[in-house]
């Protein structure tokens, strides 16, 4: 939906709980309307249902109403210093502004995703495994900006080669013991690589046989099994097979799902398991499979080992892509009613995106990084809008306009050479927090550079694909008018 002329994300406080806010033209500041803490969060609900969390991971919010500890840790490139990112209040949302401040003028990666359950099941950089060398890459801390409850937050952006793991856990199901798990993913970020997983895996980082895993999978890998349509699908990675149902291959009841924010559930016990899913912003859950274990040798009984993985397969297969916001693992097989209550809690959060294309109004095209280049110094242009990552811009709380390419590289819109004269090239550059990378999004539809006060301008008023973008004296022309679309 076009929201003219601007969605301003000062502190990203532009969402009301349960829905994306439709903001009036010219609204430049806002106050979050969602309370910081709920009386119950997902792990409180699971505990009340008799299936307590034994692992709880999130970079966006607390998963217990009383939780007041760290959510994750970031490390900055400039001096390798680290900072734990906690919550704004007990039971509330991530203190993302602390990350913004700590990582200003440099880049940061996510080093640790802390377990909120108290069992110490933290996720850290995955080591080498049987399928691929390591250690795996760490996620760019700024590559998955979102809003949660009207507050700025960041997810875990898994580009191929990125992975987290814990091989020495406490309380995670082993053997044929029952367990449940859910995760919130970006349903538009996926590939056909193996394997974007969250859940239970081998402790040896190698493939130890059928039934030695039980993890949520999301993507379009179809070598072992599929759902209906072209995907992506929620499936279960049970090792040596991605399963959508009882059969090794197709389950037509497991649909293609690509909600911007997706709730994905897998649970399993002695000769029973299920897949469920739904839109993490509205509505309930659907059951895509519920029944007996697969009719292939080795999966009944199961042989789960109790490690936890995120973004990779059990043997460290790491060709996958995806984005993770929150997830838990439980002791015991949760009831559908308990999961339905958790889904209601999730939809009340009001997850939202403040990233979207910047439309050049006069040309009817989008601000574009040519060929999706990740090389600093490339001059931006306009191009037919295509939904590509190289046209997805985020206006940060630091007034930067950032773009994250498909490989996870994040760059900032930049006035080249700190230029302050008409005709200065507008390029992408490594983010550094300086004023030539800060942009005011104005109520009249213009975008002005903080350093120079000049307007973002399509050169010569061109409407052609590839027309270059520069700074120019503000003149009210349609080639200086911009609007943004967010999801």
pLDDT 10s digits, 146-205 = 999 988 899 999 999 999 999 999 999 999 999 999 999 999 899 999 999 999 999 999
Residue 17's pLDDT is 30
- Whole-number Å distance between alpha carbons of 236 and 247: 12
Tokens of 350: 């009001």
Task: Please give the model's pTM, rounded to 2 decimal places.
Answer: 0.78
Which among 297, 328, 349 is the end of a domain?
349
Is 23 within the bounds of a domain? Answer: no
Residue 368's pLDDT is 97
The reply to whether 122 and 267 lie within a common domain is: yes
Residue 396's pLDDT is 75
Residue whose pair of structure tokens reads 């931006």 in the numeric block:
380
The reply to whether 272 and 373 lie within a common domain is: no
The reply to whether 389 and 480 lie within a common domain is: yes
The model's confidence at residue 443, banded by pLDDT at 50, 70 and 90, is confident
Residue 150's pLDDT is 84
The reply to whether 338 and 377 lie within a common domain is: no
> Three-state secondary structure along the chain?
CECCCCCCCHHHCCEECCEECCCCCCCCCCCCCCCCCCCCCHHHHHHHCCCCEEEEEECCECCCCCCCCCCEEEEECCCCCEEEECECCCCCEECHHHHHHHCCCCCEEEEEECCCCCCCCCEEECCCCCCCCCCCECEECCCCEEEECCEEEECEEECCCECEEECCCCCCCCECCCEEEEEEECCCCCCCCCCCEEEEECCCCCCCCCCCCEEEEEECCCCCCECCCCCCEEEEECCCCEECCCCCCECCCCCCCCCCCEEEEEEEECCEEEEEEEECCCCCCEEEEEECCCCCCCCCCCCECCEEEECCCCCCCCCCCEEEEEEEEEECCCCHHHHHHHHHHHHHHCCECCEECEEECCCCEEEECHHHCCCCCCECEEECCCCCHHHCEEECCCCCEEEECCCCCEEEEEEHHHCCCCCCEEEEECCCCCHHHCEEECCCCCEEECCCCCEEEEHHHCCCCCCEEEEECCCCCHHHCEEEECC
Given a contact cutoff of 8 angstroms between Cβ atoms, the answer to whether 278 and 286 are in contact is yes
Return the CATH number at 168: 2.60.120.200
Residue 487's pLDDT is 67
Percent of the chain with pLDDT over 90: 79
pLDDT tens readout for residues 268-299: 999 999 999 999 999 999 999 999 999 999 99
Burial of 371 (0-12, 13-18, 19+ CB in 10 A): exposed
- Judge whether 339 counts as a catalytic residue: no
Residue 6's pLDDT is 31
Residue 16's pLDDT is 30
Burial of 139 (0-12, 13-18, 19+ CB in 10 A): buried
Is 3 within the bounds of a domain? Answer: no
More confident position, 487 or 456: 456
The reply to whether 342 and 379 lie within a common domain is: no
Q: Which of 197, 279, 315, 405 is catalytic?
A: 315
Is 5 within the bounds of a domain? Answer: no
Which among 349, 376, 404 is the end of a domain?
349
Is 4 within the bounds of a domain? Answer: no
Return the CATH number at 474: 2.80.10.50
More confident position, 143 or 10: 143
Is 24 within the bounds of a domain? Answer: no
Which among 322, 349, 376 is the end of a domain?
349
The reply to whether 288 and 313 lie within a common domain is: yes
Residue (of 59, 54, 9) closest to 32 by Cα position: 9
The reply to whether 433 and 332 lie within a common domain is: no
Residue 355's pLDDT is 79
Q: What is the mean pLDDT of the chain?
A: 90
Residue (of 263, 258, 289) closest to 345 by Cα position: 263
The reply to whether 303 and 390 lie within a common domain is: no
Is 9 within the bounds of a domain? Answer: no
pLDDT tens readout for residues 394-416: 887 667 899 988 888 889 999 99
- Judge whether 152 counts as a catalytic residue: no
Residue 20's pLDDT is 29
Tell me: pLDDT of 383 over 60.
yes
The reply to whether 245 and 120 lie within a common domain is: yes
Given a contact cutoff of 8 angstroms between Cβ atoms, the answer to whether 57 and 113 are in contact is yes
The reply to whether 420 and 407 lie within a common domain is: yes
Q: Which domain holds residue 399?
A: 354-484
Residue 10's pLDDT is 28
Residue 133's pLDDT is 84
Tell me: pLDDT of 2 over 60.
no
The reply to whether 377 and 362 lie within a common domain is: yes
The model's confidence at residue 106, banded by pLDDT at 50, 70 and 90, is confident
More confident position, 26 or 356: 356
Tell me: pLDDT of 338 over 90.
yes
Is 189 within the bounds of a domain? Answer: yes
Residue whose pair of structure tokens reads 């034994």 in the numeric block:
54
Q: Which of 100, 239, 368, 470 is catalytic?
A: 239
Is 16 within the bounds of a domain? Answer: no
Structural domain count of the chain: 2
Using only the alpha carbons of the chain, give its radius of gyration. Answer: 23
The reply to whether 369 and 257 lie within a common domain is: no
Residue 397's pLDDT is 62
Over residues 132-136, the mean pLDDT reads: 89
């Amino acid at each position: 939906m076009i929201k003219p002329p601007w969605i301003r994300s000062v502190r990203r406080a532009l969402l009301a709980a349960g829905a994306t806010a439709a903001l009036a033209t010219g609204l430049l500041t806002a106050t979050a309307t969602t309370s910081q803490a709920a009386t119950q969060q997902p792990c409180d609900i699971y505990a009340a249902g008799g299936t307590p969390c034994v692992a709880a991971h999130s970079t966006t919010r607390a998963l217990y109403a009383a939780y007041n500890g760290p959510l994750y840790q970031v490390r900055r490139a400039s001096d390798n210093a680290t900072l734990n990112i906690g919550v704004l209040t007990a039971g509330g949302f991530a203190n993302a502004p602390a990350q913004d401040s700590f990582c200003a003028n440099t880049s940061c990666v996510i080093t640790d995703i802390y377990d909120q359950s108290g069992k110490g099941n933290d996720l850290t950089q995955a080591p080498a495994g049987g399928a691929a060398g390591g250690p795996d890459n760490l996620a760019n801390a700024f590559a998955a900006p979102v809003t949660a409850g009207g507050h700025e937050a960041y997810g875990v952006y898994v580009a191929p080669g990125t992975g987290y793991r814990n091989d020495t856990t406490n309380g995670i199901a082993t053997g044929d013991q029952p367990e449940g798990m859910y995760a919130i993913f970006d349903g538009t970020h996926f590939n056909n690589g193996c394997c974007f997983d969250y859940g239970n895996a081998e402790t040896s980082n190698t493939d130890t046989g059928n039934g030695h895993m039980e993890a949520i999978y999301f993507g379009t890998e179809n070598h072992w099994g599929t759902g209906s349509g072209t995907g992506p699908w929620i499936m279960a990675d049970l090792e040596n097979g991605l399963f959508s149902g009882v059969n090794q291959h197709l389950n037509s009841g497991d649909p293609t799902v690509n909600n911007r924010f997706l709730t994905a559930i897998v649970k399993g016990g002695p000769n029973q398991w299920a897949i469920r899913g739904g839109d993490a912003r509205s509505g309930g859950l659907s059951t895509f499979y519920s029944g007996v274990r697969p009719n292939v040798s080795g999966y009944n009984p199961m042989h789960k080992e109790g490690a936890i993985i995120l973004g990779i397969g059990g043997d460290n297969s790491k060709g996958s892509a995806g984005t993770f916001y929150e997830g838990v693992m439980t002791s015991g097989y949760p009831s559908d009613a308990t999961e339905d209550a958790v889904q209601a809690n999730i939809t009340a959060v009001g997850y939202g995106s403040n990233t979207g294309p910047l439309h050049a109004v006069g040309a009817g095209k989008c601000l574009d990084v040519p060929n999706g280049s990740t090389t600093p110094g490339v001059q931006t242009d306009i191009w037919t809008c295509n939904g590509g990552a190289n046209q997805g811009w985020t206006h940060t709380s630091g007034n930067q306009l950032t773009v994250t390419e498909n490989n996870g590289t994040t760059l900032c819109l930049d006035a080249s050479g700190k230029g302050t004269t008409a005709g200065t090239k507008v390029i992408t550059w490594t983010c550094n927090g300086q004023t030539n990378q800060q942009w005011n999004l104005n109520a009249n539809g213009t975008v002005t550079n903080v350093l120079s006060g000049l307007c973002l301008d399509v050169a010569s008023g061109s409407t052609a694909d590839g027309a270059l973008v520069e700074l120019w004296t503000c003149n009210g022309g349609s080639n200086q008018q911009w609007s943004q679309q967010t999801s």
